[in-house]
Amino acid sequence: MGLMKNKAQLSAMMFIQYFIWGSWYVTMGTYLGQTLNFTGAQIGLAYGTAAIASMISPFIVGMIADRFFSANRVMAFLNLIGAVLLFCISQIHEFSLFFPVLFIYTICYMPTTALCNSISFANLNDPGKEFSRIRLLGSIGWIGAGVLVSFLKIEHLPDPFIIAGAASVLGTIWSLFLPYKAPEKTVGKVSIGKVLGFDAFKLMKNRSFSLLLIFSALACIPLGFYDSFTNLFLNNVGVKHAAAAMSSGQVAEIIFLFTFPFFFAKLRYKGSISVAIFAWMLLYGLFALGAYTESSTFIYMALPIHGFCFTFFFVTGQLYVDDKSSSNLRNSAQGLIAFATYGVGKYMGTLIAGNVVSTNTIGENSYNWLNIWLVPFIIITVIFICFILSFKEENSTKESIEI
């Protein structure tokens, strides 16, 4: 009974966590462009705040949760500050103030995704079998937020920030009722490096861990193309209801999150990540074929693949980090992989994708999409080959990396 209660609490936590993000992130560009008349460069900078925040904050906050305060209380505090900032953002109309406030908000929000993972891992008997079922509620929360915003027809208004702020208040309250785990006491003096969270980087002394971290960051570079330009691509080539079409990836994500434990038991870490990277190759290849043939069939075939890739790549990486990290570094380690993927990888991907699209802009609202999609296809193909040849899964999954 206690385990079922924990799972219900963790599932609700995931729903709220991704409902907050999905409320404002998807439609922010429409609000900034149509209502506030921000330039394209300013909109790009606004979206870049999440990636930059992922690089500088999660592992620091994770370390605090590891050594000083429980993860659920840290998350409650961050959600409360985030709620205040979201309400403030909804009232700001000048970019000079909007950008720094949004940046501070993302510094508060991004660490909470890693904390959600670590809280889940700490309270599940078998994360490899159980975590994906918890995580799928996050996908449902993201979809639910998008449906709500769309149904209310407020994409061009600041209201999504207010909705996200209200959800953050709920997240604050809910975090306080999550299973509590006291942070482990640190023996001896705490160095400046530990206070700043640099201990997490020592995990990279392990060859397999460091390779997984590097490849996780590299694989997120092509992802920058998908996140930034898929919607523009679909609208540009005449795909009807582009946003709804893209949601097929999220539906697929829910399906594969539910079935993930079965596949993971067979494929384990290397196999799961390998098939995810290979599927990304297929996705970008289908996009290129769609651009070359001007057939939307290839594009519709590609969109659900993203949900498969997202599930197998990110969930497997999070499980590997939890499995290989000692108990006193798990929150920091989850922050470290968020730093590599959502931070370094996606930020580099955004920069590269932007330059590629600019180079292949033919005229006003006209692009050479074939050349554009061939770039991430080539990048992910090279990553796939290198990962297969260099990453070796260790025989034992029980041995944690101690620092």
Question: Can you give the three-state secondary structure of 255-306, one letter per residue?
Answer: HHHHHHHHHHHHHHHHHHHHHHHHHHHHHHHHHHHHHHHCCHHHHHHHCCHH
Please name which of 119, 172, 162, 129 lies closest in space to residue 11, comparing C-alpha atoms: 119
How far apart are the C-alpha atoms of 341 and 18, rounded to whole Å? 17
Burial class, 381, CB count within 10 angstroms (exposed 0-12 / middle 13-18 / buried 19+): middle
Rg of the Cα trace of the chain?
Answer: 20
Query: Which pLDDT score is estimated for 20?
Result: 95
How far apart are the C-alpha atoms of 209 and 177, rounded to whole Å? 33
Cα-Cα-Cα-Cα dihedral sign, residues 374, 278, 317, 75: positive
Average pLDDT for runs of 10 along the chain of length 403: 70 92 79 74 75 72 64 88 96 94 92 82 76 82 81 82 96 85 56 54 73 88 82 76 71 79 82 91 94 89 88 83 69 73 83 81 79 94 93 59 46
Phi first, then psi: what are they for 123, rounded to 5°? -120, 15
Query: Could you tell me whether strands 366-367 and 361-363 are parallel, antiparallel, or unpaired per DSSP bridges?
Result: antiparallel
Query: Which pLDDT score is estimated for 31?
Result: 79
Do residues 117 and 61 touch, judged by C-beta distance below 8 A? no
Query: Which pLDDT score is estimated for 399?
Result: 47
How far apart are the C-alpha atoms of 95 and 103, rounded to whole Å? 12
How far apart are the C-alpha atoms of 220 and 223, rounded to whole Å? 5
Please name which of 136, 350, 313 lies closest in space to residue 227, comparing C-alpha atoms: 350
How far apart are the C-alpha atoms of 359 and 177, rounded to whole Å? 51
CB atoms within 10 A of CB 43: 18
Q: Is 362 helix (H, G, I), strand (E, B) or coil?
A: strand
Query: Which pLDDT score is estimated for 283?
Result: 95
Query: Which pLDDT score is estimated for 401?
Result: 47
Query: Which pLDDT score is estimated for 1?
Result: 44
> Which residues touch 228 (CB under 8 Å, ≥6 apart)?
47, 349, 350, 353, 354
Q: Is 191 helix (H, G, I), strand (E, B) or coil?
A: coil
Full-model pTM: 0.70
Query: Which pLDDT score is estimated for 124?
Result: 79
Cα-Cα-Cα-Cα dihedral sign, residues 246, 157, 21, 43: positive
